[in-house]
């Protein structure tokens, strides 16, 4: 590749794959893998799991290293607890061949239980899994 085209190629890879400059939001899209999906919209995101789901209450703002932390909600969809509880969503975005990868963890902050950390989940851009249903 010609040296003058290299910066343009890097810029395109970042903008087309969902990663952003520091302080910018993760671009809308879908990431999936490891029994989880993350669906990002311009102002929030939704996480889907087997027997659980969650919401990130704001845009996913990346720091200079591609890390993020967003408050939100988490809901188990099996067993005796169905009400959403507070959660802290953390992770990072990395450029990988053909797109981006989101590493996602959630700290479930149920006021009636000990904090519960789930993840990390490694999710690939452009992938959306069909997840199992719970009875």
Which residues form the domain of 92?
6-125
Whether pLDDT at 84 is above 90 = yes
Question: 19: exposed, middle or buried (C-beta count within 10 Å: 0-12, 13-18, 19+)?
Answer: buried
Number of domains composing the chain:
1
pLDDT band at residue 36, thresholds of 50, 70 and 90? very high
- The answer as to whether 120 is a domain residue is yes
- The answer as to whether 133 is a domain residue is no
- The answer as to whether 130 is a domain residue is no
In the numeric block, which tokens belong to residue 53? Answer: 């789901």
- The answer as to whether 85 is a domain residue is yes
pTM: 0.80
Query: What is the arithmetic mean of pLDDT over 110-133?
Result: 91
- The answer as to whether 131 is a domain residue is no
Residue 47 CA to residue 31 CA, distance in Å, equals 10
- The answer as to whether 135 is a domain residue is no
- The answer as to whether 134 is a domain residue is no
- The answer as to whether 11 is a domain residue is yes
């Amino acid at each position: 590749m010609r040296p003058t085209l290299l910066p343009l190629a890097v810029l395109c890879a970042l903008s087309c794959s969902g990663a952003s400059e520091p302080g910018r939001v993760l671009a809308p899209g879908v990431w999936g893998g490891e029994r989880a999906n993350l669906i990002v919209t311009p102002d929030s995101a939704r996480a889907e799991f087997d027997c659980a789901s969650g919401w990130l209450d704001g845009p996913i703002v990346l720091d200079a290293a591609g890390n993020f932390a967003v408050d939100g909600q988490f809901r188990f969809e099996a067993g005796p607890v169905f009400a959403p509880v507070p959660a802290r969503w953390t992770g990072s975005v990395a450029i990988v061949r053909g797109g981006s990868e989101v590493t996602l963890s959630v700290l479930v902050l149920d006021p009636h239980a000990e904090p519960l950390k789930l993840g990390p989940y490694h999710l690939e851009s452009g992938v959306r899994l069909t997840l199992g249903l719970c009875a």
